[in-house]
Amino acid sequence: MNSALEIIIFIIQGLMFFVLLYLAYRLFRFVKTVSLDKRFGPYSVEVLEDTNESLFDMLIEYYKGVIHKLSKVFVKSKVLTDYSNKYIKYSSSSRVTDIEKMNYISTKFIIGISCVLLLVLSVVFKPIVIDLYLIILVFLLGFFLLDIYLIIDDKIKRKRIEKDMNKAIIIMNNAFKSGYSIMQAIYLVHTELEGPISVEFKKMYMDITFGLNMEVVFKRFSERVNSVEANYMSASLAVLNKTGGNITQVFSSVERSSFTRKKLKDELDSVSASSRAVFKILVFIPIFLVGMLLLLSPTYFKPLFTNPLGILCLILSILIYVVYIIIIRKIVYVEVKL
């Protein structure tokens, strides 16, 4: 019985090896074709456009169709609809429909089910005992994997928006000096800049086009971006739109304040660079030592998971480590507020 099982596993492993080898060959041919096209494309005559869809495009369209069908089913649930509202801020569209919000939930379910399928397929290579708790744990890990990606991507976008906000303020100030209106200045920033800042100003422009009040538009913009420059700029524009006044003088003040804050933040970052480097090293050293001990002796930490006293020590160690990171981070990272 064991020999027959080993033969079956060997055959499946061989088939998967050849499938991966074929995929690697196709990927190599694709990369080579792209490099040749970039090399000789400018010197060749353009061919007629091929309207046939590739296999990859067909798979993408099929995946989008599955997500759309799941979203139509999930949108009937009040609980899932309320849960999907938290993903509005991750959308680049000015008006987000219920189906678009629910697409995030459907994607999370697909990722969770895919992780469970990978767990089941792993039994082919290494027989393990799969119980209900393990399946639920793997599904939850896959379900919240998209949230981790969105949080990291949102932090990167916020940093880039904060970096480009000074450019947006300069463009708007120059536009106001040239006699542009607020709506024209917002549209100018959208066309002149690229990246997340352009998307945010496009949302503002679309909100104004749809007839929303200026105060509401600026408030939504400051809530989405959540930075000091955005709050200051939104408050200034809202007050100027309501009461009037010298907009060029006010925005010149906004520009000076933004540059002063950026200069102070850069000086603070340069002064605390060594402290932040020491903090990162001290945070990484315990993880590095634990990893080295696991590689050298995989059973070294086994008593921490099998003994009740070891489990208690493990929980206390993790709590102390987390508190240590929070305290040191509060000391080292200083936020500038003007």
Q: What b/e readout covers 154-169, taking b as 16+ CB neighbours within 10 angstroms?
A: eeebeeebbebbeebb
CA distance 102 to 145: 16
Residue 66 falls within a domain, yes or no? no
Residue 157 falls within a domain, yes or no? no
210 and 249 in a single domain? The answer is yes
Note the pLDDT tens digit of each residue in 138-166.
Answer: 888 888 888 888 888 888 888 888 888 88
* Single residue among 261, 281, 299 that ends a domain in this structure: 261
Instruction: State the chain's mean pLDDT as an integer.
Output: 79
How many CB atoms lie under 10 A from the CB of residue 67?
19
pLDDT at residue 276, rounded to an integer: 78
Considering only the C-alpha atoms of the chain, give the largest distance between any 2 of them, rounded to a whole number of Å: 88
pLDDT at residue 246, rounded to an integer: 74
DSSP 210: T
More confident residue, 299 or 12: 299
174 and 255 in a single domain? The answer is yes
Parent domain of 6: 1-38
What one-character-per-residue DSSP string does 82-137 give? HHHGGGGGG---SS--HHHHHHHHHHHHHHHHHHHHHHHHHHHHS-----HHHHHH
* Single residue among 213, 228, 261 that ends a domain in this structure: 261
Note the pLDDT tens digit of each residue in 291-308.
Answer: 888 778 777 777 877 778
Residue 63 falls within a domain, yes or no? no
Output the CA torsion 306→311→314→319 (10° steps).
160
Residue 53 falls within a domain, yes or no? no
pLDDT at residue 1, rounded to an integer: 46
257 and 282 in a single domain? The answer is no
Residue 68 falls within a domain, yes or no? no
Tell me how many domains the chain contains. 4
More confident residue, 204 or 41: 204
pLDDT score of 4 more than 60: no
Helices 132-143 and 145-177, axial angle in degrees (round to 10) = 10
Residue 149 falls within a domain, yes or no? no
231 and 174 in a single domain? The answer is yes
- Say if residue 241 is exposed, middle or buried (CB neighbours under 10 Å; 0-12, 13-18, 19+): middle
CA distance 267 to 265: 5
Residue 47 falls within a domain, yes or no? no
255 and 317 in a single domain? The answer is no
Least confident stretch, 73-82, 96-105, 115-124, 288-297: 115-124
* Single residue among 261, 287, 309 that ends a domain in this structure: 261
Q: How would residue 247 be classed by pLDDT, with cut points 50, 70 and 90?
A: confident
Residue 102 falls within a domain, yes or no? yes
Q: How would residue 314 be classed by pLDDT, with cut points 50, 70 and 90?
A: confident
pLDDT at residue 165, rounded to an integer: 85
315 and 239 in a single domain? The answer is no
187 and 257 in a single domain? The answer is yes
pLDDT at residue 149, rounded to an integer: 86
Q: How would residue 337 be classed by pLDDT, with cut points 50, 70 and 90?
A: low
